[in-house]
A and B are shown apart, each in its own frame.
Chain A
Amino acid sequence: MVAVTETIEAVQSVAEGGYKWGFETDIEMEFAPKGLNEDIVRFISAKKNEPAWLLEWRLKAFAHWKTMVEPEWPAVNYPKIDYQDAYYYAAPKYKVAPKSLDEVDPELLRTYAKLGIPLREQAILAGVEGAGDSPAEGRMPIAVDAVFDSVSVSTSYKERLAKDGIIFCPISEAVQEHPELVRQYLGSVVPPGDNYFAALNSAVFTDGSFVYIPKGVKCPMELSTYFRINAKSTGQFERTLIIADAGSKVSYLEGCTAPMRDENQLHAAVVELVLMDDATIKYSTVQNWYPGDAEGRGGIYNFVTKRAACRGARSKVSWTQVETGSAITWKYPSCILLGDDSVGEFYSVAITNNRQQADTGTKMWHIGARTKSTIVSKGISAGRGQNTYRGLVKISPKAVGARNFTQCDSLLIGDECGAHTVPYIENRCMTAKVEHEATTSRIAEDQLFYCRQRGLTQEEAVGLIVNGFCREVLKELPMEFAVEAQKLLAISLEGSVG
C-alpha cells in the first residue's frame, strides 16, 4: 500500500468492518495453461523475452525444486498444496504493450484508484501544470511500481529518478535493459536452491521490482511496489532485487492485497537486498493479503524469502513489517552481516485473528567484526489465531564485539488463540554479546475499562491499546505509512473482542 492521503481516506471510508480490498477486477486475461512443468517455465521465460542464461537458470531451479520437499518445521497447518492445480502466469491481455498510462486498460486504472494507489505522477516542481493532482503541501511524491498478477502495469517517476542515475523498474524490464546487473546479483543473496519456495520462485517468478541506487546517491523519494493478486487459481511469484551501491540510501515500501475467495492462493516471493560500504536500505512492508473468512475458508498462503546481504562495511539494513493479512504467513526477513560494523534491524508486528496462522521472525547472521543487530517482534493473537516468532541469531567466530538485542512481546486477546516464541542463538564468539527478552501479556480489563470510561468503544479501546503495544515498530515506518498501518491493525482485530 502506498502512503498517500487517498489511501488513508480509502481505508477510512470503509472502516465499518470486513476486508475492504476484496473486490475483483473484471478484465480479459491471458493465462499460461494450468499446471507446473518445464514447458510452463519455458512459457514464462518466452513471454518475458528472456535471454538464454535466464531460462537456463530457471530450468536449473525447477529441476532442483523437484528434488525438494515442502518444509514441515513451521508451526502452521494447511492441506497439501496441489502445485499442478494452479496457473503460474496471468496477465491483462493487450494487443500491444501499453507505453504510457493512457494506454493502460481503464478497468485497471479504476482498480488502483479504488485501492488508493496513485499511478500518475504528480508535479514535483512548483508551477508545473496539468501533471495530475497536485500533491498535498509539503508531501514528497512516492514512486510506484504496480504489479498486477504476473506483470507490472506501470512504474511512475522513472525518468525523474533516472536523472540521479537511479534505476527503478519492473524486474522483467531490468532483464532487458540492465542484464549485466541482474545477472550479477540475481540469486546472489537467495540462491535458487535455498529453500523449497525460493526454488519454486526462481523457476516461475514473473514480475517484481528492480532497484539500483548508484554510489553516493540518496534516493530523493520513497520507492514502492504494490502487489495485487486478482486472477482466480493463480499464484503470484514476485521477485524483487535492490542494490544499494556504496554510500547510497533508499527507503522502499511494499504493499499487497487480493480478492476475497474461498480458495487458497499461493504467494511465494523472493526479495534480495545487496548493500555496499556505508549503504542504507530501509525496507517496509504492510502485508494485507486476504486473510480468509472467520471460519478459515480462503486466504493467501504467503510463503516468502527475504534476505539482505550487508556486504560493505558500515552498511545498514532495516526491515520493518506489519503483517495483518494472509491465511498463513511464513516469512523470515534476514540479514547477513558480512561487512565490519554493519547493522541489521528487524521490526515486526504480526497479527493473527480468526483462523490465521503466522510463523515469522528473522535470521541475523553476524560475520563481520562489531556487527550489530536489533530484533523487535510484536505478535498479537486473537480469535483462534496462532502466532509464532521464530528467530536465529548466529555469531561467527570472527564477529568480534558483535552485539544483538532481541525483544519478543506477545499479546493475547481471548483464550482460544496461541502465541509461541522460538529463539535460537548460536554464539561462537567469546566477545559477542547477545540479549534476549520476551513477554506475554493480555489486554487487561482495567485498561479496557479506563478507555471505555473515557468514551471509547470496546473496539476503539482494543485498537488503541494494540497500537500502543506496537509503537516501537510502527514508529519505524515512514509517517504516512504508519498512519495507515495503525488503521489496519484496528480493522484486522475487528470482532476479536466482545
Chain B
Amino acid sequence: MLRIEGLTAEIDGKPILQGVDLEVPAGELHAIMGPNGSGKSTLSYVLSGREGYEITGGSVTFNGVDLLAMEPEERAASGVFLAFQYPVELPGVGNANFLRTALNAVRRHRGEPEVDAMQFLKLARVRMKELSMPEDMLKRGVNVGFSGGEKKRNEVLQMALLRPKLAILDETDSGLDIDALKIVADGVNAMRAPDFSALIITHYQRLLDYIVPDRVHVLMAGRIVKSGGPELAHELEAQGYAQVAA
C-alpha cells in the first residue's frame, strides 16, 4: 500500500505541495479531485520521481519501501505506473518497440523471461482490441501524430501491458468522448485486484460513474482538505470546490 505523510515539495523555490497526507490500502482505488493548479500533477510527478522537484519534507512509502529514495526506473520496475496528463512524443521510436522495451525492462525486474517481438505482438493485440485501438498504432512513433484520445488510450494500453501495482492516472479522462471514457474505465476496472491500487486524478464526476472509487480526496493549494466516500464527488460536482472545502 501507498502511504504519504506530511509531504512538502517545491519547484524553483516555489512551494507546491504543502503537507500531503494520504493512504491508499492495497486493492483500493482512490480519486483525487481539485481545481487547476492545486498540485495534482505535481503530486504524481513527485511520486514517480521526476527531476526538478525538491522534496522539502515528509515521506512516501510503497509497501514499506521508501519510494523517494529510488530512481524513476526503479519505481517503475517495482510497480509504480504514471499515466501522463500530457503523454510525451518520441519521434522515430516505434510504439511497438517502445512498449516491448518497457515491458521487458519490468519483466526483467520481476524475474520473468523477456518476450520476443512475436510474443509481444500477441499480448498487445489482445489488449488493443479491448481498448478499441487500431493495430497500426503499434507501427507509429510513440504518441507522434496521435489524437488526444489516442494518446490517453495508449497510456492505458501501457498500463494494461505492464500490470503495475500502483497506477496513477493523471486526468486520463480529459479529452475523451463518452465511448472512449467507458473503454478506459473498463481498462482500469479490469486491473482491480487485491494487490493493485490506483490514484485517479480527475476533474469530473463523469469518470467516477464508471470507475467507482473507494475513497475521494480533495486537493487544494497543495493539501488534502477533505476526504470521503464516492458521494463526495457528487457533492463537489453540485457545489464546487470552494463550498465543499469550506
B-binding residues in A (CB < 8 A): 444-447, 449-458, 460, 464-465, 467-472
B72 engages A452 (CB within 8 Å):
yes
Q: Which of B91-119 contact A (CB under 8 A)?
A: 91-93, 97-98, 101-102, 105-106, 109
Contact across chains for B76 and A465 when beta carbons are under 8 A apart:
no
Contact of A456 among B48, B51, B73, B158 (CB under 8 A): B73
Task: Give the residues in chain A near B90, CB-CB below 8 Å.
Answer: 447, 450-451, 464-465, 468
Give the residues in chain A near B98, CB-CB below 8 Å. Answer: 451, 454, 464
Given A464-B90, A469-B91, A453–B105 Cβ distance below 8 Å? Answer: no
A412 to B91 CA separation, bound complex (whole angstroms):
16
8 additional contacts (CB under 8 A) given A452-B73, A472-B92: A445-B52, A453-B50, A455-B73, A455-B162, A456-B73, A464-B93, A464-B101, A468-B93
Tell me if B92 and A456 are in contact (CB < 8 A).
no
Residues of B within 8 A of A458 (CB): 73
Binds A, one of B81-89, B193-201, B216-224: B81-89
> A467 CA to B92 CA in the complex, in Å?
7
Q: How far is the CA of A393 from the CA of B87 in the complex (A)?
A: 40
- Residues of B at the A interface (CB closer than 8 Å) are 48-52, 71-73, 75-77, 81-82, 84, 87-93, 97-98, 101-102, 105-106, 109, 141, 158, 162
> A447-B88, A464-B90 in contact; A453/B48 too (CB < 8 A)?
yes
The docked-state distance in angstroms from the alpha carbon of A215 to that of B75 is 61
Instruction: Please judge, given known A-B contacts A449-B72, A468-B141, whether A454 and B102 are in contact too, CB under 8 Å.
Output: yes
Interchain CB contact under 8 A, B73 and A470: no
* A-B CB contacts (within 8 Å), total count: 78
Cβ-neighbour of B92 out of A452, A455, A470 (below 8 A):
A470
Interface contact A460-B92, CB-CB below 8 Å: no
Instruction: Indicate whether A460 sits within 8 Å of B93 (C-beta atoms), given known contacts A446-B88, A454-B76.
Output: no
Q: Are B92 and A471 in contact (CB under 8 A)?
A: yes
Q: A455 and B87 in contact (CB under 8 A), knowing A449-B72, A471-B92?
A: no
Q: How far is the CA of A465 from the CA of B49 in the complex (A)?
A: 20
Query: Which of A454, A467, A471 counts the most chain B CB atoms within 10 A?
Result: A454
- Selected from A444, A449, A467, the residue in CB contact (under 8 A) with B93 is A467
Q: 10 smallest A-B Cβ distances: which pairs?
A: A468-B92, A455-B105, A468-B93, A471-B92, A454-B102, A450-B88, A452-B72, A455-B76, A455-B106, A452-B73
Distance to closest chain A CB from B124 (angstroms)? 14
Q: How far is the CA of A460 from the CA of B87 in the complex (A)?
A: 19
